[in-house]
Structure 1
Amino acid sequence: MDTKFAQAIHALVYISETTEIASSQALAKSVGTNPSHIRKITSMLKQAALIESSQGKAGFTLVKPKESITLAEIYQAVHPDKYLFNLHQTPHPQCPIGKRISLVLKPTFDQFKQDLANSLGTKTLSQLIDDLYYSTNNSTL
């Protein structure tokens, strides 16, 4: 698994909570990556209507309240067509296991994906931000 999901959450928390301009440079510095990579992530978040940037204005802002952005939406934004678990495509067709393994694994993997989506749908960006403040024993970051 790649780290786009964690980086996207990090970027959204930064955008939500910073008192500075949330530019690609600032996001990249906070996330610990390069601005080019952050622009790819912010492009996906913009396409999913989670953030916006205004013409002639630096930085990004959230499109909707942090209380209504779920982790499921963020995951879907950065992994729109990605399967959590992929089936291998070349099992031997004459093998008694190989010719049936996909039939057994697909519904199991589909259930895992649904369970994950349901779980991610119950946690919001706001809740993560609350956890972040709580973890610092501080009301400011």
Structure 2
Amino acid sequence: MGSNSQLTTAVHALCWLELAARRGRTPLTSAEVASSLDNNPVQVRQSLARLREAGLVRVTGRGPGTGWALTRAADRITVLDVHDALGESGPFALHSHAPNPECPVGAGIRPVLTEVYNGVQAAMENQLRTWTVADVLDEILTDAADPADRLLKGSTADARRSAS
């Protein structure tokens, strides 16, 4: 069973937009955001478009060079806001089809697991609500060396050359 990384990708992109803004580099193009994610700008635009629909980011300009920026302070965007914007479902799902109602396990598993999964969902939402994009970025900057200057000043190729 694979994991869905859309939330991670979206929070990463928002942290990158916030870091750029803190350094006076806003807005950023999809290519600039993609450089941090090491991803394709088209995929980044698709993710950011969902965040735009939810009012978390805005687009400045039109055509090539169009940039992205946060619509409000990063300390006012929770990870739960991002989760909700993406339309993420809970971490678990019930059977894709109804189990055998004649089986004692099949007849009773759905209501019990629904209760379990609802509890997991509530705990997850409570945790996501406690973290903002600013919190995530601040924690990253506290714990890691900062290669951001290279990426904000040059192309991805330049950053990779200087990193090696």
Q: Same fold (TM over 0.5)?
A: yes
CA contact (8 A) 2:26 2:68 kept: no
Which of residues 2, 5, 11 in structure 1 aligns to 2:7?
5
Instruction: Read off the aligned partner of 2:93 and give its amino acid letter.
Output: N
Which of residues 42, 57, 78 in structure 1 aligns to 2:48?
42
Deviation at 1:137, TM superposition (A): 5.9
Q: What is the alpha-carbon distance in structure 2 between the residues aligned to residue 123 and residue 15 of structure 1?
A: 17
Q: What is the alpha-carbon distance in structure 2 between the residues aligned to residue 71 and residue 92 of structure 1?
A: 38
Which portions of structure 1, spanning 4 or more consecutive aligned residues, are displaced by more than 4 angstroms?
A: none
Deviation at 1:58, TM superposition (A): 2.3
CA RMSD in angstroms comes to: 1.8
Deviation at 1:83, TM superposition (A): 2.8
* Residue aligning to 2:59: 53
Consecutive unaligned residues of structure 1, counting only runs of 5 or more, are none
Q: How far does the alpha carbon of each residue in 1:25-58 deviate from its partner, in whole angstroms, 9 at most, with x for none? A: 1111210111121111001110111100123472
Q: How many percent identity over aligned positions?
A: 24
Pair 1:132–1:55, CA change in 2 (3 A): same
1:84 has 2:91 as partner: yes
- Corresponding pairs, count: 139
Question: 1:121 is paired with a residue of what secondary structure?
Answer: helix
CA contact (8 A) 2:27 2:69 kept: no
Which of residues 131, 138, 141 in structure 2 aligns to 1:130?
138
Structure with bigger helix share is 2
Question: 1:60 is paired with a residue of what secondary structure?
Answer: strand
Consecutive unaligned residues of structure 2, counting only runs of 5 or more, are 150-164
